[in-house]
């Protein structure tokens, strides 16, 4: 039976994952949001061009896809550099001839408010979370326009909706909220051209980021304690995982969502409703 994305090409920015390549789907320590989306898209029939800042990580994603019989290539790019993004997009076109799905997964937080945060940290965080999406859209939207069809899936964050995460992250809150409005604006601008633009808004997720980055960033190095704390913050009693984000993304990328545009799917177990 044909998959939900059969015949489509997906360009995924941020398709790697911190930590080792996964050995099983039930291991949150190995599956990041971008990697899970890339593998799921491939399982559903898409040809995947997996891009990451870390070429070894995007290549690990490609190897998983290949081992499952999927079709994919890997690439490397700094998503905040226009020349590198343009080169990656060109490489995807050279390989597959088109781009039907753009999936933007690049992001990261920085601690601090407007007084104590350095200007360089603010600039870097806005670039990582917001400029990265601007750049991929800049180079891919003209291709989709010529095709007369395309789907953009941008990964925002529950930090765009609420500030009760127990710490100040003014640049992250701002960038992820801006991403929602950016996504809406693109969706409206290109709606008559057959291009949809939507956001997935993950809540607290158990991904490799928790142990590999967040524990050191604000968990005093204690990953297990941080996991317990984050689980307790969720109405369900535990965090979601990368597959929750990936399946929501798959729906928005597929033709099943052909009349869904310029909006968001919140995947947070009810966190933002509390």
Q: Report which DSSP code applies to 156.
A: -
Q: Examine residue 210 and state whether it is found in any structural domain, yes or no.
A: no
Tokens of 232: 């307790």
Number of domains, the chain:
1
Rounded to 5 degrees, what are φ and ψ at 98? -165, 170
- Report the pLDDT value the prediction gives residue 245, as an integer from 0 to 100: 97
> Two tokens at 57?
């990580």
Assign residue 52 the CATH number of its domain.
Answer: 3.40.50.720
Judge whether 221 lies within some domain.
Answer: no
Which pLDDT band, with edges at 50, 70 and 90, does 167 fall under? Answer: confident
User: What are phi and psi for residue 28, nearest 5 degrees?
Assistant: -65, -15
Model confidence, pTM: 0.94
Catalytic residues: 172
Over residues 101-159, the pLDDT tens digits come to 999 999 999 999 999 999 999 999 999 999 999 999 999 999 999 999 999 999 999 99
Residue span of the structural domain in which 34 resides: 9-204+241-259
Beta-strand relationship, 150-155 and 101-104: parallel
Residue 79 domain-assigned?
A: yes
In a domain, 267, yes or no: no
For residue 66, is pLDDT > 70? yes
Cα–Cα dist 274/271, whole Å: 6
């Amino acid at each position: 039976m044909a998959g939900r994305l059969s015949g489509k090409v997906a360009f995924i920015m941020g398709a790697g994952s911190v930590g080792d390549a996964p050995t099983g789907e039930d291991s949150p320590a190995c599956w990041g949001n971008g990697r899970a989306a890339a593998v799921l898209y491939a399982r559903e029939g898409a040809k995947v061009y997996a891009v990451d800042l870390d070429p070894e990580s995007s290549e690990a994603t490609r190897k998983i896809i290949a081992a499952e019989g999927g079709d994919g290539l890997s690439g490397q790019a700094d998503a905040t550099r226009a020349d590198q993004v343009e080169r990656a997009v060109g490489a995807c076109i050279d390989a597959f001839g088109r781009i039907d799905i753009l999936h933007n997964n690049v992001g990261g937080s920085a601690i601090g408010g407007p007084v104590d945060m350095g200007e360089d940290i603010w600039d870097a965080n806005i670039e990582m979370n917001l400029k990265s999406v601007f750049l991929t859209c800049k180079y891919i939207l003209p291709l989709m326009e010529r095709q007369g069809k395309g789907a953009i899936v941008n990964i925002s964050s529950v930090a765009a909706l609420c500030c009760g995460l127990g710490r100040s992250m003014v640049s992250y809150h701002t960038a992820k909220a801006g991403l929602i409005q950016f996504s809406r604006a693109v969706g409206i601008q290109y709606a008559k051209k057959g291009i949809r633009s939507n956001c997935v808004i993950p809540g607290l997720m158990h991904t490799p980021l928790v142990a590999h980055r967040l524990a050191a960033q604000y968990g005093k190095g204690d990953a297990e304690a941080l996991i317990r704390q984050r689980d307790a913050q969720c109405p369900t009693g535990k965090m979601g995982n990368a597959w929750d984000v990936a399946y929501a993304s798959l729906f928005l990328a597929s033709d099943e969502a052909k009349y869904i545009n310029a909006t968001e799917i919140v995947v947070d177990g009810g966190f933002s409703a509390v």
